[in-house]
Homo-oligomer: A and B are copies of this chain.
Amino acid sequence: MALIVQKYGGSSVADAEKIKNVARRIAQAKDKGDQVVVVVSAMGDTTDKLIELAGQVSNQPSDRELDLLLSTGEIVACTLLAMALKALGYEAISLSGAQAGIRTDAVYSRARIQKVDPERVISELDKGNIVIVAGFQGITDEMDITTLGRGGSDTTAVALAASLGAEACQIYTDVEGVYTADPHLASEAQRLPEIGYDEMLELATYGAKVVHPRAVELGELFNIPILVASSFTNNPGTLIHGGASMEVRNKVRGVAYDLDVAKITVVGVPDRPGIAASIFEPLAKANISIDTIVQNASINNITDLSFTVAKSQLDRAMEVVKPIARSIGARECVSDARLGKVSIIGTGMQNTPGFAAKMFGTLSERGINIQLITTSEIRITCIIDEARVKDAVHALHRAFELEIEE
């Protein structure tokens, strides 16, 4: 008898019919003889509606109150799912995050799980129950309710799987798995039967929105295999794991993109110690997230410093940077809001020089100009004109033969 943790997202439980459908899927898993723990998100757009309600009574709702408010959405979904399972004749019980022992820090709206006390879940499993846990939420040492922020329910599922020693964590969503590229953008994209944690992290961070990076990190840390599959079909999905086979494979696994990219370049910066800090510390204080940072080679002790931010933060970032640029004696400060990012991802790329050359060549052939380049061990990213992102994804997908099924 194995123990599996399943997670169903908000679109999978958007109404009573969908909840009953999910209940039938869970029942099938139970029928196989496994112990089943299910993590569930709030129904459909419940969270947005609750935030809207909060906005009607307060311009700036406190994070603590908002977290307690939002936590109700997942509780509604998990009680209904438990009822639907009982109506099918299965023993089931719903637990809030607090009841399931999800202990977090007190950073409201983006709390981190500190530990899981799984005693209650284990005792309910031992009674023969399917245990339905409200995702996205936890409780502090002071008994206050927190939410985990974006990707919270995915994180709840993997954390529970880790603390229960589950055989697998299955994340059911409204897509068929992880693809070689965004299928909405590139219809030739192929589902990946399996992918490594690190590769998935780069894919998720750089544009793919299937499983939240926090959950993947946690899966890697505790070596929990994560299956991502559709809650509406019976297709096999994608298994995210740390199997050894991936270490020796040198292959691009996917193409990711991001259209929310704006670039600021501080031109003609005197190249002396402390210059970068003098620019980025004030930006951090203004709560502006910096993505890529590139500093060109210095010529005559003068350099250019470029970095990217989300488009919505460009104006605010420029307000912060302009006076600093003047004060440090930079020549000028320019920005470009119409950029995008395209990345190729795959383990072992860095040790195989051909990948970068092929990527740049492919873009060059299509007449796509590369504005910035950054790399990690398993990723090469180019910042390009946003109007050419779709074209670049198609070209790279073809160049690296991703349309060929594995």
CB distance from A122 to the nearest CB of B (A): 14
Please classify how large the interface on chain A is, using the bins under 10, 10 to 19, 20 to 34, 35 or more.
35 or more
Whole-angstrom distance between the alpha carbons of A75 and B145 in the complex?
11
Chain A 64-93: CB-based contact to B (< 8 A → 1; otherwise 0): 111011011001100111111011000001
Please choose the segment from A53-61, A158-166, A287-295, A392-400 that sits at the chain B interface, where 4 or more of its residues have CB less than 8 A away.
A53-61
| Pair B93/A64 contact, Cβ less than 8 Å | yes
B69, B93, B99: the one within 8 Å of A76 (CB): B69
Asked if B72 and A75 make an inter-chain contact with CB atoms under 8 angstroms apart, the answer reads yes
Residues of B within 8 Å of A75, CB to CB, are 68-69, 71-72
Does A316 interact with chain B (Cβ within 8 Å)? no
Residues of B within 8 A of A79 (CB): 54, 65-66, 68-69
- 1/0 per residue, CB under 8 A from B, across A31-74: the answer is 00000000000000000001001101111111011101101100
**Which residues of the other chain, B, contact A61 by a CB distance below 8 angstroms?**
83, 86
The interface residues of chain B lying within 8 Å CB-to-CB of A68 are 75, 79, 94, 96
Whole-angstrom distance between the Cβ of A117 and the nearest chain B Cβ:
11
Q: Name A16's contact: one of B20, B56, B82 (CB within 8 Å).
A: B56
Q: Give the residues in chain B near A84, CB-CB below 8 Å.
A: 57-58
Copy count, this protein chain: 2
* Residues of chain B contacted by A98 (CB below 8 angstroms): 98, 143
Complex contact A80–B53 (CB within 8 A): yes
Residues of B within 8 A of A56 (CB): 16
B-contact 0/1 string along A110-126, CB 8 Å cutoff: 00000000001000000
A80 lies within 8 A of B69 (CB): yes
CB neighbours (8 Å) of A321 from chain B are none
Chain B residue, CB-CB nearest to A76: B72
A342 within 8 A of B: no
Determine the chain B residues whose CB is within 8 A of the CB of A211 once the complex forms: none
**Does A216 interact with chain B (Cβ within 8 Å)?**
no
Cα–Cα, bound, A60→B57 (Å) = 36
Q: Tell me if A19 is interfacial: C-beta within 8 Å of chain B.
A: yes
- Bound complex: CA A64 to CA B87 (Å): 14
Q: In the complex, which residues of chain B have a beta carbon less than 8 angstroms from the beta carbon of A71? A: 75
Q: Which residue of B lies closest to A123 (CB)?
A: B142
Q: What is the minimal beta-carbon distance from A126 to any residue of chain B, in angstroms?
A: 15
A144 on the B face (CB < 8 A): yes
Do A76 and B94 contact each other (CB < 8 Å), given the known contacts A62-B86, A99-B144, A143-B120? no
* Nearest chain B CB to A85 CB, angstrom units: 9
Quick check: B64 and A76 within 8 Å, CB to CB? no
Establish whether residues B65 and A86, one from each chain, have CB atoms under 8 Å apart when the complex forms. yes
The CA of A53 and the CA of B82, in the complex, are separated in Å by 13
Cα A337 to Cα B19 with chains together (Å): 41
Interface centre among A50, A66, A69, A81 (most CB of B within 10 A): A69
CB distance from A284 to the nearest CB of B (A): 27
Closest 4 CB pairs of A and B: A16-B56, A72-B72, A69-B79, A58-B87
Q: Which A residues are closer than 8 A to B by beta carbons? A: 16, 19-20, 23, 50, 53-54, 56-62, 64-66, 68-69, 71-72, 75-76, 79-84, 86-87, 93-94, 96, 98-99, 120, 143-145
